[in-house]
Amino acid sequence: MLERLLRRLLWVLPSALAITLLLFFALSRVPPERMTPSSPHVRYRELPVFFNLRPSDVRTAVRRAMLDLVAAPESSDDEREAGRRLVRIGGAGLPTLMAELDSYAPADRVRLLLSLEPLARRMGLPNAKEAARPESVLRFWSRFWEASEVEFRLPAARTATRRWIVYGDRAREEEVFRLDTFALEPLFELLPSRVETRDLREIARNVDVIAHVTEREDRLSPEATVDEAVSCLARWRRLWLERRSSHAMLTGTDRIMAFALESRFGKWAQEWIGERLPGEAGAAPVLRRAAASMSLVGVAWLAATLLGVGLGVLSGLARTPVTRHGAAWLGVALLSATPVGLGAVVRRVLVGPGFEWLGAAAVLTLGMIAKPLLSTRSRATTRLDGDRLVAALARGATRQHVAWTEGLRAAVAPVAAESLLELPFALSASFVVERMFGLDGLGATTLEAVASADVGGVIGPAVLATFVGGVALLASDVVLAVAIPHVRPLLHRLGSRA
């Protein structure tokens, strides 16, 4: 039995992954103009959906920008745009640019280095005016690279950034500024995963350098709180996730992992796991809406099971044909009804202002009550039409006593196990019902996510429903095994056969 439960539990993970991949691929076919701007299919449109067979890094970006600048006419917009790309790549691209500079003609070298004049000023290099003069630019950058090439190594950059974060003096700040974007990877490595009050000063110092080299004004004020720091770091990490491939080199295992991570799905997965939960909105609203939806479904399931069993036993006790078959007609009618139809009736007829939650719970209860009602009625009728009833009546028992003892005993465990399997469908129905009654659950956000093709908003509820379905299957097996001992060997054989 334990083996079967473990197998069911392990199947939840691949099932959730398969649903995630299918939904992500389906959303990639949606036209971009219908997607939300935060969708990975919009933000990372140039990347493949799942696997990147040719992942690019800073070397690729620098070489492409150098070729574009040289191929463009002098003083043209294309030349200026390629130069801006080189400046945006910054110090992270200097090792590649200086190594490949000799492969270009002398005039092209001058053009390439002249485009770096804004970078020289941003790095705070002495005599930066020489970087703007054609007659001195080659000598300026050659002299700088001869003196500073050893600093553009990742271990040296890590040491320089760590010193700056700890001590914060002017000399170490200038040392990090000279590295420019080459220091971004070590700086982001030093950002803490959890923010505490005592870390705010070091975080602000780190963010100041990042904001300077990226020329993006998103800093922490001296009076910043922990929540403001968390939001600021989330924004910077999101930006680093987008730009990392143009500021870092892929070597060894990083290049192997880039086959999956440098794709739309890989970027989205990294952001969802590492950035989205501690982001600006935080995990609290999502968890609160999920808890509201699950509590609504749980209350409706419990009410449907109890009412279904009770009405089923009463139906089995009925003697007149109309009363006896009324439960069956009611069950068939409720099975045929849709959440939208039930919700429209309940909202119009029974629910007034302030009772929206009770109305939504009533709709879900009516939607789930049919199966426990019909199943209990069938079992209670069987007990009241057999030899057990005759024997019980001969011993002095009443018909009602037989129905409530024998009928309940036979119905509770199987009906509870069957009704547990309705939980995933009830969760899906709750999304619609919540929207109809104006409740702040997952329903409104899910429907809005579907309308705008929001990847996270669509996949999150689908994975939650998969998890709920797996847990419901586990609970169903446990209920049957505990309440009906002779079922355990059958479940074991089914597990072995599977």
CB of 419 closer than 8 Å to CB of 301: yes
DSSP summary character for residue 48:
-
Other CB atoms within a 10 A radius of the CB of residue 23 amount to: 15
CA torsion angle 349 354 355 356 (round to 10): 90
Q: In this predicted model, what pLDDT tens digit does every residue of 302-345 receive, in sequence order?
A: 888 888 777 777 776 666 665 666 666 666 666 666 666 776 66
Query: Tell me: the pLDDT tens digits for 353-404?
Result: 666 777 788 888 887 877 787 777 777 666 666 655 555 556 656 656 666 6
Entry pTM: 0.61
Does domain 283-452 fall under CATH 1.10.3720.10? My reply is yes
Q: Residue 140 corresponds to which tokens in the numbers above?
A: 């300026």
- How far apart CA 39 and CA 454 sit, in angstroms, is 6
Distance CA 102, CA 108 (A): 10
Whole-number Å distance between alpha carbons of 110 and 132: 10
Q: How far apart are CA 342 and CA 334, in angstroms?
A: 9
| All CATH 1.10.3720.10 domain ranges in the chain, comma separated | 283-452
In order along its 498 residues, the chain shows pLDDT tens digits of 555 556 666 666 777 778 788 888 887 887 877 777 777 788 788 888 888 888 888 888 889 998 999 898 888 888 889 889 888 888 888 888 888 888 888 888 888 888 888 888 888 888 888 888 888 888 888 888 888 888 888 888 888 888 887 777 788 888 888 888 888 888 888 888 777 877 788 888 888 888 888 888 888 887 888 888 888 888 888 888 888 888 888 777 777 788 888 888 888 777 766 544 433 344 445 566 777 777 888 888 888 888 877 777 777 666 666 566 666 666 666 666 666 677 666 766 665 566 677 778 888 888 787 778 777 777 766 666 665 555 555 665 665 666 666 656 666 667 777 777 777 777 778 777 877 777 777 776 676 676 666 676 677 777 777 777 777 777 776 766 665 555 555 555 544 444
